[in-house]
A and B are shown apart, each in its own frame.
Chain A
């Protein structure tokens, strides 16, 4: 199972919106709505930010949102804040009954 494809890095100024893409196949992202997004700060465990494509767990700021079109899912941050600087990973359930993560995206706040 190959990793989902994400851009290596995305950057933006405080207050600006950014979007991170996550491209899979018709065996994972394309057929399941089990797409999640995780935020990971250096030296810390990942934190769930979005589940089932577009749902936010309790406590996650509403500036984070998720969507999906075809084989590509997206995570958007509507107004970037300094504390959003981190690595972000998408994941999807697959037709092989496994989980697959994305390659990861480093978000930099300029």
Chain B
């Protein structure tokens, strides 16, 4: 069974940093591209970042470019999102999601981790 479990969320001051982790199991992690998607309270889904299976190609939404960094450790079956210079508008539930082998659909999602940026 495919499982994705996020951790590392919490309350952080504006301008602060936080690192989210996503532990993957039930599939061959190093053969799948992965994404982070967020959802602000009461709002819609917003794609955040993508990383290829080997960890060498990354893409970012304009709203986080230069502040967030996606990475993965295939030996640990883990995905990460390093978030720096956090702003109030980054407050959201952050989901990690597994991409299909071909295409850009996100077939499996974690339960989400809440990040609150507030003073």
Mark A residues whose CB is within 8 Å of B: 1, 3, 32, 34, 36, 38, 40, 45-48, 51-52, 57, 87, 89, 91-93, 97-104
| Partner-binding segment picked from B7-15, B23-31, B43-51, B80-88 | B43-51
B44 x A45 contact (CB < 8 A): no
By DSSP majority rule, is chain A's interface helix, strand, loop, or mixed?
strand
B residues bordering A, Cβ < 8 Å? 35, 37, 44-47, 50, 59-62, 95, 100, 103-107, 109-112
**25 A–B pairs (Cβ distance < 8 Å), ordered by A:** A36-B104, A36-B106, A45-B95, A45-B109, A45-B111, A46-B37, A46-B95, A46-B106, A46-B109, A48-B106, A48-B107, A51-B100, A52-B105, A91-B45, A91-B47, A91-B104, A93-B104, A97-B59, A99-B35, A99-B47, A99-B50, A100-B47, A101-B44, A104-B44, A104-B45
Residues of A within 8 A of B103 (CB): 34, 51-52
Known: A45-B112, A51-B100, A98-B59. A57 touches B107 (CB 8 A): yes
Beta-carbon contact of B95 and A99 below 8 Å: no
